Amino acid sequence: MSHKAKRRAYSELSPFQRWLQKISDFKPSALVITIILISYAVFLFGGALFAIVNPLMPPYINNNFIFIYPDITSQFISENIISVTIYLMGFAGIIYLYRSTKYVYKPRQAYINAIMGASLLLIAYLILEGVLLRKIG
């Protein structure tokens, strides 16, 4: 089909059909798809789905404001925010570790990225374990 024929066929479409055509031709980059998938995984791991499905609990127990619910069966919205932030910090550590493998010919840059990545990953792990131990104990 020639360019003129394609243009004529496109102009004869209704606005809704043109909109559907644009949507069907849209091809997001691999980076956009990766960011969407990682955001979805962090959303699920952080317990946001639990917060949506279950009713919110007041963060006051005996007139004291607390961030972390003292039982493992429930959680506050602040726990979701804390866990999502820490998961993102751990994921940033994984990205730094991955980036350190790209700098083979720049050892100083690779070393800095590896140290930052390992530090972020270790800090995220320790904080998550500490929060979980505080909930259990």
Q: Is the pLDDT of residue 2 over 70?
A: no
pLDDT at 103: 86
User: Is the model more confident about 132 or about 26?
Assistant: 132
pLDDT at 137: 76
Residue 81's CB is within 10 A of a number of other CB atoms, namely 15
User: Is the model more confident about 136 or about 12?
Assistant: 136
Extract the tokens encoding 33: 């798809």
Is the pTM for the entire model greater than 0.75? no
CA 15 – CA 11 distance, rounded (Å): 9
Q: 27-39 pLDDT, tens per residue?
A: 888 888 888 898 8
Q: Are 100 and 114 in contact (CB under 8 A)?
A: yes
CA 51 – CA 72 distance, rounded (Å): 14
Residue range 108-127: average pLDDT? 95
Q: Which residues contact 110 (CB under 8 A, 6 or more apart)?
A: 100, 101, 102, 103, 104
Residue range 64-87: average pLDDT? 82
Q: What are the CA-CA distances from residue 16 to residues 11, 42, 48, 73, 118 (Å)?
A: 12, 35, 35, 48, 50
